[in-house]
Amino acid sequence: MSRRDRLRGRGRPTARYPLPVDDVAAATRALRLAERAWQLAHLRTDEGGPAAVAAAREALDQAQQALQECYETIELTALAPEDYEQLVAQHPPREGSDDEEWDTEQFPVACFLACAPGDMGDQEWAEFLRRNVSWLERQELLQLAVAVNVRAVDPAVPKG
């Protein structure tokens, strides 16, 4: 594949937010117990042999899967640059506020709604943000929507 094909085929950046929807604490405890049991099975090969190790590994795999199922991942996709700039222009800083680049009350929500997965409509996502997440989760989701669009250069990339 040529450079041109790779560059033209590049999709817009995405960011994933793992939102807990089930009891993460219980699943984490179960995973820790399964990890210990698996470690013990390796140490005590004389008390069950390969069958005990395989059973412990199966239990560990199930515990890992159960923990993963406690989360629903929300994937936010960046807007095309011109669409993002238009969205910013639609939400100018408010007069008499500390806003610098945009309306800090409305823009982050609008950005999230524009980047959110299409399996729910804007009204459903807005209701979700109002009723189904904590204040901190809401802030993280809104900041992530803005961040996926900013596309800051990785600080690990050397200058020059």
- Point out the domain boundary residue: 68, 91, 124: 68
What is the enclosing helix (H) or strand (E) of 156?
none
What is the enclosing helix (H) or strand (E) of 97?
none
Reading phi first (left if > 0) and then psi (alpha if -120 to 50, else beta), residue 77 is in: beta
Residue 49 lies in a domain: yes
Residue 158, pLDDT above cutoff 60: no
Residue 42, pLDDT above cutoff 70: yes
- First vs last C-alpha separation in the chain: 28
Which residue range is the domain that position 39 belongs to?
Answer: 20-68
Q: How far apart are CA 74 and CA 136, in angstroms?
A: 15
Residue 105 lies in a domain: yes
Same domain, 103 and 144: yes
Same domain, 82 and 139: yes
Residue 148, pLDDT above cutoff 70: yes
Same domain, 49 and 102: no
**Sign, Cα dihedral of 93, 144, 28, 67:** positive
Residue 6 lies in a domain: no
Domain count for the chain: 2
Same domain, 102 and 63: no
pTM over 0.75: yes
Residue 2 lies in a domain: no
Same domain, 96 and 146: yes
pLDDT score of 101: 92
